A and B are shown apart, each in its own frame.
Chain A
Amino acid sequence: MAAASFTAAKFLAPVAARSGGDRAPLHASSSLWPRTKPAPRLRTRKALAVSDVLSGNKAAPAAAAHPSATRDEALELYEDMVLGRFFEDMCAQMYYRGKMFGFVHLYNGQEAVSTGFIKLLNQADCVVSTYRDHVHALSKGVPPRSVMAELFGKATGCCRGQGGSMHMFSAPHNLLGGFAFIGEGIPVATGAAFAAKYRHEVLKESGPDGLDVTLAFFGDGTCNNGQFFECLNMAQLWKLPIVFVVENNLWAIGMSHVRATSDPEIWKKGPAFGMPGVHVDGMDVLKVREVAKEAIERARRGEGPTLVECETYRFRGHSLADPDELRKPDEKSHYAARDPIAALKKYIIEQNLATESELKSIEKKIDDVVEEAVEFADASPLPPRSQLLENVFSDPKGFGIGSDGKYRCEDPLFTQGTAQV
């Protein structure tokens, strides 16, 4: 499936343009909708299918040249995707061995999106994710041992063991969560972007590159949720430096995207709010990266948000508790054949950017990193009882004044939750 062929001019227009041949509009033959007169700027648009699977279009002419990468770039991307994959595979192992608990949502198959976007960011840029956040954390630079220890519920985890799989945070890496309810991270991301604009315009603090950018990652199911729409509106209204990245893996647990969504082409919702909406092949890291570059630069320049829909797929179930019985084998094999890591490997080899053995040594290195993360997590202590109430309030005076007239937090037993309340 050809990615949007990007030129700045096309990108600045509120409608995404597509290379490749004509494709049939999805609803052209439907008699259910009275066709309303489209807004003028949409008249010249070609309607686009969401994915090969939906449209049944297996022949995907790539009219545009495939985006390229240098050796260094390609190896960085490769290593990051391999880290994401190996880490998640280890999570599955650890979960079934009883070291990891609760709801664990793995990212296998979607690595091109995380790597393609996040490796373009600076430290000061922010990432907001969902419960499927391990790999976003890793791409943003959170050490694998911190993430693994958090998953094991240890005190050395990035959130002291208090967040868990669905709540990864790291202030030094500007990872603002980790959210369990879909959609609830999007306003937080919008707020981080607002703060970036505020710092620039009110506090007169400007970075040398432009505005700090925030990426909000979320799925297809979220795109039917109110907070998504409310934030598209506000972000565009105030031209906030944010990119809304939809990881459309076609399934929200067992609910197929087309069964839940009146118009499944999510990228179209961008222009409805006045921002560019782009569709990209989320199984191809170089295509994702190319789109991401433009979207991030736009935001940095203060031109406002972009909605990027990445067609991607999760190779595993929704979570480790999901029996994954509803997805058809041929859909799964279709996407397995488009494994982003295999695709990048093929590109690297064909373009002579590196040898097979160099790639193998990267994989070995990552193996060691992930092993070490597990060892570290295993050896780390569980949080002590005294930690229970320590972080309920930033200012522990919030626990109030006890009957003896002292603030409760002055009682050393208080954070254990054993003191009289």
Chain B
Amino acid sequence: MAAASSLHVAAPVATPRVGSSAGNRSASAARGVRVAAAGSGAARAGGRLVARAAVAAKENSPASAASKSDGHEVLLFEALREALIEEMKVDPTVCVFGEDVGHYGGSYKVTKGLAEMFGDLRVLDTPIAENSFTGMGVGAAMKGLRPVIEGMNMGFLLLAYNQISNNCGMLHYTSGGQFKIPVVIRGPGGVGRQLGAEHSQRLESYFQSIPGLQMVACSTPYNAKGLMKAAIRSENPVVLFEHVLLYNLKEKIPDEEYVLCLEEAEMVRPGEHVTILTYSRMRYHVMQAAKTLVNKGYDPEVIDIRSLKPFDLHTIGNSIKKTHRVLIVEECMRTGGIGASLRSAIIDNFWDYLDAPIMCLSSQDVPTPYAATLEDATVVQPAQIVAAVEQICR
């Protein structure tokens, strides 16, 4: 069993979620690696989780001090790199394309040292031509390689929209199933610290309609490594959303190999009063708000949905059936965002279980301003989350 992530209380209990869960998940662990149930999990046994600060700088919880589990501390970008290295060692068809991924080591150091380890062809420094090198990844995938394509900033992948929608998403279908496109498209996105409008984009809402794509968002070193490995192993094209502000999060992760499930959500904090659905950086704003809420006597259940497409309606549904109240907290824009789709899915599937209208807190529909005060007002802040929960639970 994978060692517990120190974000959780020690000794989590693996809750079987699907009837033949062992069967399902070991199917995805084709190389005999156990898929971790704990992390994706179900640490529902026992007490509450300790709420985290918005952007954790250093682990300081009693849980991590107490657990003497094996494991090693990594920063989130190192976790991504570990995943890449492990997969590239095992499977020589895995390669990396992107700007400055090779000699420079990656703009956020995710690929640092990889070019020295694997060579310039496996860690390919591309010219600045996103649409074309993404398409190159598609063609290479059709001929048996497994490219990991990096957008130096996720926003640059807008230039690759032609290839991502028409080719990544569609070619398996239009070829009648003859070719598969096992690419991973990844990069840092989200609103950072005064990076300006064009470096602060959230592409998950733009890509979500593309049939044939899967989308996941990592938020901790533990799930970053597990999701990166799962994405590389998946036969589907997967977009992995990383966040500019989360790369230096530190966490102890297992020494032994683990792969997470792409389609599952992650229980962050079990609770009774309200289901808060979130992903990526907003998880930390939610957990900060949760501290305040707990002091005020609320018991929020926090789920990091992780899989932005498709949604894990099992985890989400079980939570709603328990709490009957839903708050979605997201960083993408309100219009056409992940929250909009999630709201629809919840209404379609769990209407009878709702005691209150679904609330959704999203970023403002505005190009992210440079000025700090305006930028702060663009994204959802913990105080707003607290107020929303108070309103829902009234």
- Chain B contributes a number of interface residues (CB within 8 A of A) equal to 67
Query: What is the distance, in angstroms, from B14's C-beta to the closest C-beta of chain A?
Result: 14
Contact with A along B140-178 (1 / 0, CB 8 A): 111111000000000000000011001100011111111
Q: Which residues of A contact B134 (CB under 8 A)?
A: 187
Q: Are B313 and A401 in contact (CB under 8 A)?
A: yes
Q: Are B119 and A202 in contact (CB under 8 A)?
A: yes
A188 lies within 8 A of chain B by Cβ: yes
A394 lies within 8 A of chain B by Cβ: yes
Q: Are B236 and A192 in contact (CB under 8 A)?
A: no
Q: Are B136 and A187 in contact (CB under 8 A)?
A: yes
Contact with B along A182-210 (1 / 0, CB 8 A): 00101111111111111101110000000
9-residue interface stretch from A162-170, A278-286, A323-331: A162-170
Q: Are B142 and A191 in contact (CB under 8 A)?
A: yes
Q: Are B18 and A405 in contact (CB under 8 A)?
A: yes
Bound: A167/B172 CA distance, A: 11
A211 lies within 8 A of chain B by Cβ: no
A2 lies within 8 A of chain B by Cβ: no
B234 lies within 8 A of chain A by Cβ: yes
Residue of A194, A400, A403 with most partner-chain B CB within 10 A: A403
Bound: A230/B160 CA distance, A: 12
B70 lies within 8 A of chain A by Cβ: no
Q: Are B93 and A405 in contact (CB under 8 A)?
A: no
Q: Are B24 and A195 in contact (CB under 8 A)?
A: no
Indicate whether A188 sits within 8 Å of B214 (C-beta atoms), given known contacts A400-B313, A401-B18.
no
Query: What is the distance, in angstroms, from B120's C-beta to the closest C-beta of chain A?
Result: 9
Q: Are B176 and A404 in contact (CB under 8 A)?
A: no
Indicate whether A191 sits within 8 Å of B92 (C-beta atoms), given known contacts A197-B121, A395-B236, A398-B214.
no
9-residue interface stretch from B104-112, B179-187, B273-281, B376-384: B179-187
Indicate whether A191 sits within 8 Å of B182 (C-beta atoms), given known contacts A162-B173, A202-B92, A203-B93.
no
Bound: A70/B212 CA distance, A: 48
Indicate whether A187 sits within 8 Å of B139 (C-beta atoms), given known contacts A403-B313, A403-B317.
yes
Bound: A394/B162 CA distance, A: 20
A237 lies within 8 A of chain B by Cβ: yes
Q: Are B133 and A192 in contact (CB under 8 A)?
A: no
Q: Which residues of A contact B248 (CB under 8 A)?
A: none
Bound: A3/B268 CA distance, A: 70
Contact with A along B295-315 (1 / 0, CB 8 A): 000000000000101111111
Query: Which listed residue (A158, A191, A420) contacts B139, Cβ 8 A?
Result: A191
A256 lies within 8 A of chain B by Cβ: no
The closest CB in chain A to the CB of B17 belongs to A405
Query: What is the distance, in angstroms, from B136's C-beta to the closest C-beta of chain A?
Result: 4
Indicate whether A237 sits within 8 Å of B174 (C-beta atoms), given known contacts A188-B142, A190-B132, A407-B263.
no
Residue of A157, A177, A190 with most partner-chain B CB within 10 A: A177
Bound: A227/B179 CA distance, A: 22
Query: What is the distance, in angstroms, from B43's C-beta to the closest C-beta of chain A?
Result: 18
Residue of B173, B263, B314, B350 with most partner-chain A CB within 10 A: B173
A406 lies within 8 A of chain B by Cβ: yes
Q: Which residues of B contact A421 (CB under 8 A)?
A: 345, 348
Listed A/B pairs (26) with beta-carbon separation below 8 Å: A162-B173, A162-B174, A167-B174, A169-B179, A171-B178, A176-B179, A179-B166, A180-B166, A184-B162, A187-B134, A188-B142, A191-B143, A194-B145, A230-B131, A230-B133, A234-B136, A391-B172, A391-B177, A393-B214, A393-B236, A394-B180, A397-B28, A398-B212, A400-B263, A401-B310, A407-B24
Query: Contacts A184-B163, A395-B236 given; 5 further ones with Cβ under 8 A?
Result: A159-B178, A193-B139, A195-B143, A198-B122, A400-B307
Interface residues, chain B, with chain A CB atoms under 8 Å away: 17-19, 24, 28, 92-93, 95, 119, 121-122, 126-127, 129, 131-145, 162-163, 166-167, 171-182, 211-212, 214, 234-236, 262-264, 307, 309-315, 317, 345, 348-350
